[in-house]
Amino acid sequence: MTPIEVDQAVIDYISKTGEDYRVCTSCSGAIILPVSHKPPKESDLKIRAGKNMLFISRVQARYINRVTMDMMYDPERGLSCSMYPDL
């Protein structure tokens, strides 16, 4: 598996919030959610982001080579996906 690059803006955001995040699958592709919404799995890749962790689902790890801020869930835009009805 190719190493996955994480943009500094993503690392900075995660560090600023003080939360762990996970790259997982949504109806429109890869999305970054706090682990409070989508807990990590044992099979996830783990990448340190400051004092926090960024977990990347094994499924998404096959398809992405870079984690960017446009993957970050934005509550202002919402998320129209049946996988996450509470968002």
| Contact (CB, 8 A) for 56 and 86 | no
Instruction: Kindly state whether residue 58 falls inside one of the protein's structural domains.
Output: yes
- Amino acid 25: pLDDT: 87
What length is written for the chain?
87
Over residues 16-73, the pLDDT tens digits come to 999 999 999 887 788 999 999 899 999 999 999 989 999 999 999 999 999 999 999 8
Provide the whole-model pTM: 0.85
**Where in the sequence is the domain holding 12, given as residue range(s)?**
5-71
Instruction: Kindly state whether residue 56 falls inside one of the protein's structural domains.
Output: yes
The CATH number linked to 10 is 2.60.300.12
3-class SS letters over the chain:
CCCCEECHHHHHHHHHHCCCEEEEEECCEEEEEECCCCCCCCCCEEEEECCEEEEECHHHHCCCCEECHHHECCCCCCCCCCCCCCC
